[in-house]
């Protein structure tokens, strides 16, 4: 019986030692990733300073709601903060989907913006 317990403990320790760390381990990392994706793929024309990134832990991924904010520097109605789009960010590897395109009903990978030649 003691051997069985020792074997189970050893297996648990070995499994934990080889567990891959999460690419997106917490809310702050999810918000940072959302900011980087929003900039890289130009998901909005608003300045990053005029956006708010709200994170929601959904188990294996985070949902990040991107909203406009309207301090004096950004203009707009101060007490209004409309949602622009959402991002889903997988914790294990950081894979990101967004509903920033079209009517917002489908989540797809972010796309590079085509610039005129």
pLDDT tens, residue by residue, 16-44: 556 789 999 999 999 999 999 999 999 99
Residues 61-102 have pLDDT tens digits of 999 999 999 998 898 898 899 999 999 999 999 999 999 998
Query: In the prediction, which pLDDT does 4 show?
Result: 65
- pTM, full prediction: 0.80
Q: Is the pLDDT of residue 12 over 70?
A: no
Cα dist. 44→14, 85, 89, 91 in Å? 45, 9, 18, 24
């Amino acid at each position: 019986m003691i051997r069985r317990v020792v074997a189970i403990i050893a297996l648990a320790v070995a499994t934990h030692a080889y567990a891959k760390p999460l690419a997106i381990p917490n809310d702050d990392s999810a918000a940072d990733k959302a900011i980087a994706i929003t900039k890289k793929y130009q998901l909005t024309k608003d300045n990053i300073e005029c956006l708010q990134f709200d994170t929601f832990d959904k188990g294996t991924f985070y949902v990040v709601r991107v909203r406009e904010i309207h301090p004096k520097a950004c203009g707009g109605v101060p007490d209004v903060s409309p949602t622009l789009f959402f991002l889903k960010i997988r914790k294990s590897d950081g894979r990101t989907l967004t509903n920033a395109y079209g009517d917002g009903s489908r989540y797809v990978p972010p796309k590079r913006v085509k610039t005129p030649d």
